Amino acid sequence: MLISTLLLGACEQSPEPCPVGQSGCECTVESLCIAGLSCIDDVCQTMVSDGSDSSSTGVSDTDGSTNADGSTDSSSATDLTDSDSSSTDGLCPPPQIECMGDCVNPLTDAQNCGDCGNVCIIEGEYGGCVNGECMPSLSECISWANPIACDDVCAQAGLVCAEAACQGLTYITYDVNAACVAHDPSGASADPCTEPSFVATGSYRCCCAQ
What is the spatial distance between Cα 132 and Cα 202, in angstroms, rounded to a whole number?
35
Give, rounded to a whole angstrom, the gap between the first and last alpha carbons of the chain: 128
What is the spatial distance between Cα 140 and Cα 165, in angstroms, rounded to a whole number?
17
Tally of helices (H runs) and strands (E runs) in the chain:
5, 14
How high is the pLDDT of residue 75?
Answer: 44
Beta carbons within 8 Å of 90's beta carbon, 6+ residues apart: none
Residue 48's alpha-carbon distances to 19, 21, 45, 52, 57, in angstroms, are 22, 18, 9, 11, 18
Q: Among 47-51, 52-56, 144-148, which stretch is predicted with the lowest mean pLDDT? A: 52-56
How high is the pLDDT of residue 29?
Answer: 73
Mean predicted confidence (pLDDT) in 59-77: 47
Q: Among 9-13, 31-35, 54-58, 134-138, which stretch is predicted with the lowest mean pLDDT? A: 54-58
Q: Say if CB 208 and CB 139 are below 8 A apart.
A: yes
How high is the pLDDT of residue 63?
Answer: 47
- Is pLDDT above 80 for 5? no
- Is pLDDT above 60 for 87? no
Work out the mean pLDDT of the chain and round it to a whole number: 80
pTM greater than 0.75 (yes/no): no
The separation between CA 120 and the C-alpha centre of its own chain, rounded to angstroms, equals 27
DSSP 90: G
How high is the pLDDT of residue 31?
Answer: 79
How high is the pLDDT of residue 133?
Answer: 97
Is pLDDT larger for residue 131 or for residue 52? 131
Tens digit of each residue's pLDDT (9 = 90 or more) over 161-208? 999 999 999 999 999 999 999 999 999 999 999 999 999 999 999 999
Domain locations in the chain? Answer: 93-133, 137-209
